[in-house]
Amino acid sequence: MTNPDRDNHTHPELKMSRRNVLVAGGGATLSAAAVALLAGGGTLVRATSAYAASATDIGILNTALGAELQAIAAYQLGAESGLLKPDVKKLALTFQGHHKSHADVLRETVGKLGGKPVEALKDYGFPAETLKSQTDVLQFAAGLEKGAISAYLGAVPQFENRDLAKAAASILGDEAMHWAVLRSALGEVPVPSAFME
């Protein structure tokens, strides 16, 4: 997940701001199996023909993969901080597991399309020194989840392959649920408005 205020700490290929996604030219073939993997984390999607996937789509998938790897690292930081109560730590690890599932599917899909999946960075420049309480950790995680929602909102319409767009929208929904739960844990209104920007 990207944090719009901290994009300067992400690898240039991984930047996914609110309405910008990595785009490139070219093409590849997306198999029905790859669509099935991306669309449901292994859930079979009824597909009878090959789907086209351009280098643009591969770039967007890799950008999303980079954001998921960042989220995994962020939740690891929170889990290891010693600041979370056991039930909150369990929730953080559950959300981290979701991000790991997203990353696995994205990585495999990029590979099946002939792309080279991006790797996790060694350092994301997280503000670890500012995390002094459970509230700080939850606010940090909520900020990253909101950034991910914005990034996926920007990415979905950019996909040339509409099946990939649907799959990304499914991940977007999961990120939105994470954000709402984290806001609730902070004592904030879980869904503060009728629209996401």
pLDDT in tens, the chain (197 residues): 433 333 333 333 333 332 233 222 233 333 333 344 444 444 222 222 245 568 889 999 999 999 999 999 999 999 999 999 999 999 999 999 999 999 999 999 888 888 999 999 999 999 999 999 999 999 999 999 999 999 999 999 998 888 888 889 999 999 999 999 999 999 999 988 888 76
Average pLDDT, the chain: 78
Answer whether residue 190 is part of any domain. Answer: no
Residue 21 maps to a domain: yes
Span 29-38, pLDDT tens digits: 333 333 444 4
Q: Residue 180 maps to which CATH number?
A: 1.20.1260.10
Secondary structure, 3-state, the chain = CCCHHHHHHCCHHHCCCCCCCCCCCCCEEECHHHHHHHHHCCCCCCCCCCEEECHHHHHHHHHHHHHHHHHHHHHHHHHHCCCCCHHHHHHHHHHHHHHHHHHHHHHHHHHHCCCCCCCCCCCCCCCHHHCCCHHHHHHHHHHHHHHHHHHHHHHHHHCCCHHHHHHHHHHHHHHHHHHHHHHHHCCCCCCCCCCCC
pLDDT in tens, 39-51: 444 422 222 224 5
Q: Answer yes or no: is 194 within a domain.
A: no
Write out the residue range of the structural domain in which residue 159 sits.
Answer: 4-185
Residue 127 resides in a domain: yes
Write down the pTM of the prediction.
0.75
In a domain, 71, yes or no: yes
> Count of domains in the chain?
1
Please check whether residue 192 lies inside any domain of the structure. no
